[in-house]
Structure 1
Amino acid sequence: MQSEGPRVLLVEPFYGGSHKQLIDLLQQNISGCSVFTLPAKKWHWRARTAALHFSQTLPTCPSHRVLFSSSVLNLCELVALRPDLAHLKKVLYFHENQLVYPVRKDQERDFQYGYNQVLSCLVSDVVVFNSVFNMDSFLSSISSFMKKIPDHRPKDLDQLIRPKCLVLYYPIQFPDVSRPKVEYKVVSSPEEMPDEAQIGSGEFPSLGNQQEDPHESRTDQRPVSKRDPGDQMKPLHIVWPHRWEHDKNPELFFSTLMKLKEKEVDFNLSVLGENFSEVPGIFSEARLRLDPHILNWGFLPRGAYLEVLLQADVVVSTASHEFFGVAMLEAVHCGCYPLCPKALVYPEIFPAEYLYSTPEQLFKQLQRLCRRPDIVRRHVVKVDTSSYSWTSLKGHYEALLSTRCP
């Protein structure tokens, strides 16, 4: 008997980063998926023109029942250009939303991107957000956003969209944290990067008294204590694992560390994450001024990156925008103590003891921990990362991609 063919269309106009990870995860774990993507380049052009591209490249297939896409796609345009897709269950996934995405000045905000997302919601059957913060900030901003229209403004769009909305956390395939500590040299260019195939291969001993659940994937293990008594005298190891862009507020992070240095407080530093063509100037200044403290600097392949997280003590976010925060949760899973702004998505995920309200509070917390790193090394972070794992969330995504609407 012949298979009826692919049931789910996974469409991703910006196939990179967390967008790629989600599409790959769904394709690998849910049967009946067919994937159509565009490379993660020129985001603004993808948001403007991807619908036209996919209208010409998506096949006509009677077995298709569900269309899943990120909100980068203008779903309204795609369905208008391809009316044969209109009968599918249309699922729109928000990794971020353009109504509150930070820009230097509000006058720089391109109205069209947020407007496209609103239109896409109106033609969707299900609108999924990766956090309550993402959903609430989007829905509560629609009314004021539409006031930018000079006249004949639409009304009550949030009331039309809200019944379709649900929150489904981004599913993380957490690393196996049963790895040994390995020291890595400072990395400043791709040529210097260690070969990922040589890192993280083979079997590793478990850390602590970890009990394994035979029904749970080894990539979704709970965080464990990773410290031994020999670590207690080492300086506090601070890690910053974010994109090198202004919306992650590197200026606040580095100014805090420079203040620690001026106070002659000892620490070690790893600055990881991707950097792009326009790197904020603070990075070059910080590398010079903080050089004696730096253990790792720059992008690392996955295996080396995880080893650094396992060695680190504290992970810091200074973001001025965050709708979920995979990097922070991965670091916590690897045993890092988190320090996050008391804003954005963070209060939704992290207890109050890990949140700071002002730059001065961040400085004081880091100063205290630098002087008493043993506090961190004995501490078990009160965040259940398994709640955000693919193992926990798989059933919800399977239901989402079924033909039933919630």
Structure 2
Amino acid sequence: MSVLLIEAFYGGSHKQLMDLLQEEIEDSVLFHLPAKKWHWRARTAALYFMQSVPVNPDYRILFASSVLNLTELVALRPDLGKLKKVLYFHENQLTYPVQKCQERDFQYGYNQILSCLVADVVVFNSSYNMESFLTSIEKFMKLMPDHRPKDLEKLIRPKCQVFYFPVKFPDVSRFMPEHKLDHVEKSACTKGNEEDGAQGNWCMDMPSQEKEDRTADLIEKNHSNLGSAHSKTQSGFCTPLEERLPNPLTTEEKLDKPTSSQNTNTCPKDNNQCVTLNLCKVSGGLDHQQKALHLVWPHRWIEAVYCGCYPLCPKALVYPEIFPAEYLYSTPEQLFKRLRNFCKKPDIVRKHLYKGEMARFSWAALRGKFRSLLTTEPKERFVTDGAKSQTCSLRQNL
């Protein structure tokens, strides 16, 4: 095995990415810990992997998420320190939301900075994530009482890249309203990255039986995940922000029951399953103006929009990077007015065709970049004069 995948918090998006890479990258092997007790994973995972990862002279690349203290691992396992080390940031601990500033634990952010210094490539899932991390380093290090290191951002920034989180969009055509289905096929069905040479329709690139299986999985996962306001896929050293918010679905009104003659629709009998996905028409003899709109907190926006949902996000954080301006609001008052208008005129949402781009988040579009990232490079690359010079510079600054 030439690609060593290590995940200290194997759950949610962390698990999704590692599973995808293991499936798509030949000659790879995955070692992981369950997604429990995040604080302890960040503190002690390196010691666990020191013992659990066997010595293998075939390893050439190490890919890990930023939960792992990479510095500790390569110090405990010098053989792994010789590999091309890639660190992937799903989130960063310099800006991750906390209830009060004094609650931020210095050690977690400090560990991530150290991991970046020993990594060869640092990858972020968005430009916002990258910039918020890099520009916060200097302020973060001022928490130290004295003898603060200098120019850490300058040392780390040249290693940084942005790779959006890759999504394998399933075929949901049989659940989409016709007008949205045509739009999705035109906007999302695209050729893969030219570097990878992939061609064809990325949202239709699986056998028909597998499509049905994937679609069934999507319904099951979304029914259990999207219908809850508590995200089990968020990671961080503090309680996730949405866990402190009320669940908007607990007050959801039930739709009028259809008459017996109308109860022949193809939607699932469970109304929540149907409306949470926003994929199929709800019968019952009501026209569009009478049917209630349903608000969901999907946690996975790039999938929710693909399935036909209308995004409405704050004009902050990463959202302006992902969504066009018309889907953003600046104040709670603006959000209220938008929602009130949608409730008065629900067809604005039901007939709307998303104006953003989804293809750039697909695995087909990102496959080439990830394959290039995980391409084997000679070990000698890391003992060049340039690398020695950078190491000397680092020691002087420290």
Fold shared per TM-score above 0.5: yes
Distance in 2, Cα, partners of 1:247 & 1:61: 32
User: Quick one: which of 59, 66, 83 aligns to 1:88?
Assistant: 83
Distance in 2, Cα, partners of 1:241 & 1:328: 14
Partner in structure 2 of residue 328 of structure 1: 301
Q: CA deviation at 1:370?
A: 1.1
Tell me the SS of whatever aligns to 1:337: coil
Aligned residue pair count: 318
Equivalent positions of 1:196-345 (< 5 A) are: 207-208=181-182, 210=185, 215-218=200-203, 243-244=229-230, 280=244, 282-283=246-247, 290-292=251-253, 304=273, 308-311=277-280, 327-345=300-318
User: Contact conserved, 2:252 with 2:294, CA < 8 A, in 1?
Assistant: no
Aligned residues with identical type, % of pairs: 58
Partner in structure 1 of residue 325 of structure 2: 352
Distance in 2, Cα, partners of 1:314 & 1:356: 19
Distance in 1, Cα, partners of 2:176 & 2:364: 26
User: Contact conserved, 2:315 with 2:328, CA < 8 A, in 1?
Assistant: yes
1:245-273 Cα offsets, whole Å, 9 max, x none, are 6999xxxxxxxxxxxxxxxxxxxxxxxxx
Partner in structure 2 of residue 53 of structure 1: 48
Are 1:402 and 2:366 matched, yes or no?
no
User: Contact conserved, 1:14 with 1:46, CA < 8 A, in 2?
Assistant: yes
Tell me the SS of whatever aligns to 1:68: strand
User: Contact conserved, 1:342 with 1:355, CA < 8 A, in 2?
Assistant: yes
User: Quick one: which of 109, 116, 129 aligns to 1:114?
Assistant: 109
User: Contact conserved, 1:67 with 1:89, CA < 8 A, in 2?
Assistant: yes
User: Contact conserved, 2:227 with 2:276, CA < 8 A, in 1?
Assistant: no
User: Contact conserved, 1:128 with 1:166, CA < 8 A, in 2?
Assistant: yes
User: Quick one: which of 350, 368, 379 aligns to 1:377?
Assistant: 350
User: Contact conserved, 1:220 with 1:391, CA < 8 A, in 2?
Assistant: no
1:280-327 Cα offsets, whole Å, 9 max, x none, are 4734xx666x253589xxxxx9x958972424977666xxxxxxx961
Distance in 1, Cα, partners of 2:16 & 2:205: 15
Partner in structure 2 of residue 176 of structure 1: 171
Tell me the SS of whatever aligns to 1:55: helix
Tell me the SS of whatever aligns to 1:338: coil
TM-score if structure 1 supplies the norm length?
A: 0.71
User: Quick one: which of 360, 364, 373 aligns to 1:391?
Assistant: 364
Partner in structure 2 of residue 202 of structure 1: none
Distance in 2, Cα, partners of 1:124 & 1:241: 38
Q: Which amino acid aligns with 2:246?
A: I
TM-score if structure 2 supplies the norm length?
A: 0.72
Q: CA deviation at 1:59?
A: 1.1
More strand by share: 1
User: Contact conserved, 1:92 with 1:128, CA < 8 A, in 2?
Assistant: yes
User: Contact conserved, 1:241 with 1:327, CA < 8 A, in 2?
Assistant: no
Q: Quickly say closer, same or farther: Cα 1:287–1:165, change in 2 above 3 A.
A: closer
1:104-131 Cα offsets, whole Å, 9 max, x none, are 0011000000000000000000000000
Partner in structure 1 of residue 96 of structure 2: 101
Q: CA deviation at 1:339?
A: 0.4
User: Contact conserved, 2:5 with 2:64, CA < 8 A, in 1?
Assistant: yes
Q: CA deviation at 1:37?
A: 0.3
Distance in 1, Cα, partners of 2:344 & 2:142: 51
Are 1:35 and 2:30 matched, yes or no?
yes
Distance in 1, Cα, partners of 2:121 & 2:75: 18
Partner in structure 2 of residue 133 of structure 1: 128
Q: CA deviation at 1:174?
A: 1.4
Partner in structure 1 of residue 289 of structure 2: none
User: Contact conserved, 1:11 with 1:70, CA < 8 A, in 2?
Assistant: yes
Partner in structure 2 of residue 193 of structure 1: none
User: Contact conserved, 2:12 with 2:232, CA < 8 A, in 1?
Assistant: no
Tell me the SS of whatever aligns to 1:310: coil
User: Contact conserved, 1:100 with 1:137, CA < 8 A, in 2?
Assistant: yes
Partner in structure 2 of residue 62 of structure 1: 57
Q: Quickly say closer, same or farther: Cα 1:113–1:398, change in 2 above 3 A.
A: same
More helix by share: 2
Distance in 2, Cα, partners of 1:246 & 1:364: 31
Partner in structure 2 of residue 150 of structure 1: 145
Distance in 2, Cα, partners of 1:341 & 1:247: 21
User: Contact conserved, 1:36 with 1:58, CA < 8 A, in 2?
Assistant: yes
